[in-house]
Amino acid sequence: MSDRDDPTPIAPLLIGRVMLRRAPSELVYREHLALVPQPGLRHACVVIGLLVPKGGLVRSRRTLLPRVPIYILVSIIPETFGGMITVALQRASAFADLDHRKIEVLTKSPNMVDQDVRTQQLRSSGQISDNVRIRNVWSDLETRSDEALAGFPSRVDPLMPTADELPLPEETNQSPRLSEDGAVLQIDRFRSDGTRAICDERDVEHRGEAGGRLITLFTRDGRPRAQWRSERQLYHAWLDWVIGADESILIVDSATAGNVFFDYQRDNVTTVQAIHNHHLLQMRSNERGGVAPSVMRMLTHLDWFDAVAILTARQQAGFLEAGFVSENSFVAPNMLAHPAAKPSAERERSGGVIVARQVTQKRLDHALDALARARAEGIHAQVDIFGLGPLTRRLTRQAAKLGLSEVVDWKGYDSNAKASFGTASFTLMSSRYEGHPVALLEAMSAGCIPIVYDIEFGPSDVVTDGVDGFLVPPGDIEGMAEALIKLHGMTNRQRARMRKAAIRRSRDFSPANVTKVWGEQLAKAQKRKTTLRARKLDAELIAVSLTAQGLHLRLKVTSEMGGDMRDVMLGWIGRGRDAYGRVPAQAKKTRGGLVIEGTVTAAELKAIEGNSALDLYAFVRGSATWGRTRIASSGVQMPKARDGLLPYTTAAGNLSVRREA
């Protein structure tokens, strides 16, 4: 149709020397935009946009992140929290502000306050951006309208009968029903208007006896709306409802959440697990005694995520060597959201600060010992310690015993503790292990000189010894004291030079730099997105031998995976959750089926300590399938013990290795 044939009246508009003809009421004011053709615009000769068609101009801004919704998921955001939650919230805020988008942080804790209240609390305290919103599954179920929840997917069909409503509580929104021995058999959750929102039954199999679970959502007029047989089912259904059918990215930002969501497999959702801690060291029984069951479940299912974000290159190398991850991993360090404080030009050289939870991992007893030794050499250092934890009382007693009561000030929890880095001369970090400590970046950003154990992982990826801080061999208390003495003996100019170097180094971890890394890696994860499905796998031991090189296995594998077997591995899981790893195996098709051969090396078998044992597995990963199974070994002759290690068949008929009694 020509302009003359167009029935829409065209009104001319003169802007400077540029004539536009437009349909009335279709122009809006825009600045610094790129012009694109639109049906409402005729005969435009505009090279800059001032008055333009609604929706007709597109910003030339380049986005940092993929142009899809991004959700960040954690288990809980408690009233007081440490590094992991801080990192997740800082990343969410950086993504939102730098990429001009809204970000939702999803939580699953049943004990969180109303999500809108929590969002406002965190915004008011500056812990999240105004473009970030906190969202909680239980809060959604209790506060959303019946109409909004109409599309919430049920996993029970038809709906089952539910337990009678419990009495409305007076001071809380939850009412429990207990067994005679105090076990929780039912929890009813109520809305602010007094109607029952949720009935969580835990004695479904036999009334009055714990067993079976049924979670029911009710409308405000008391009708059952949807049901789930586990929290896992409910949480997955909630994600389906929140995300919908849009292509999206889900970043799981805690290990315990990863345990629940590794099998959240949807064609439209790219999933990423963020690793925050040194789980390899946590497994060693001489350090902690094994990881939590939920963390081990996450670690043994990292294949299920489209990407795994790891904080340092050294940690990634350790994960690759142990067989935790493969090509789905990438390195993205923690970011420094903003300088912790304005660096003070004048500082008392003897004043230090420590910001750390008082737990075994942080090893604050070493910091106190180092402080005492430095003072014994005439260094009049004193330290403010921020943080709380189960070891507070023990550490205060130690400080008193060392004669430090007058020079160590226990500040407790302070959400703005990092501001103290701006006036402190130094900070001591004596942890057993870290991921990529945010407190280290915060200290350096404020010109507070770090004296830190060179542990796995993190410190040496940030600090250059003698340039912007001091690296001390792990566990070397005397070395930490000597570094403190050396710092105290430096000239003002030398200390000022080191402070400036620390500030410069901290800028390498700016939100813009780290967000760019995330953007590139998330785009790659989208391209390799795979929706995994678990498939049944059986493995039967054919032969086993134990040599100086290790445990050699030959087994027959049958599966429902057909020919889709990209990676074949032998693996082990410590019964005390103190070991996990995998090694590649060779697969060969024979008349009798698929035969797998491989060796668990002698070095890997050293993970067995004390009364622990390694349970052996076969792993198979296909392009879109995954299988893992214990190795059946009944009837197979076991080799004699060697170097104190003994392969054996368990009572369930599967292969394991333990220390010889």
Answer whether 332's CB lies under 8 Å from 362's CB: no
Answer whether 423's CB lies under 8 Å from 343's CB: no
pLDDT at 603: 86
β partners of residue 453: 472
Give the residue from 509, 377, 398, 397 showing the smallest Cα distance to 443.
509
Domains of the chain: 11-58 (no CATH), 70-141+242-286+295-331 (3.40.50.2000), 156-228 (no CATH), 351-509 (3.40.50.2000), 533-659 (2.60.40)
Task: Decide if pLDDT at 388 tops 50.
Answer: yes
Q: What amino acid occupies position 115?
A: Q
Beta-strand ranges (E) seen in 420-484 are 426-429, 449-453, 470-472
Q: Could you report the per-residue pLDDT of 165-207, keeping only the tens digit for each? A: 999 988 889 999 999 999 999 999 999 999 999 999 999 999 9
DSSP-assigned states of every residue in 161-212: P-PPPPPPPSSSSEEEEE-TTS-EEEEEEE-TTS-EEEEEES--SBTTB---
Task: Decide if pLDDT at 8 tops 70.
Answer: no
Mean pLDDT of the chain: 87
CB-based contacts of 196: which residues, under 8 Å, 6+ apart?
Answer: 165, 188, 189, 190, 218, 222
Cis (ω within 30 of 0) for the bond into 158?
yes
**For a pLDDT cut of 90, what percent of the chain falls above it?**
68
pLDDT at 577: 78
Pair type for strands 196-201 and 408-412 = unpaired
Q: Is 481 left (phi over 0), alpha (psi -120 to 50) or beta?
A: alpha
Task: Decide if pLDDT at 31 tops 60.
Answer: no
Angle 33-523-106 from CA coordinates, rounded to 5°? 95
The more confident residue out of 107 and 289 is 107
pTM of the model: 0.82
Q: How far apart are CA 255 and CA 297, in angstroms?
A: 9
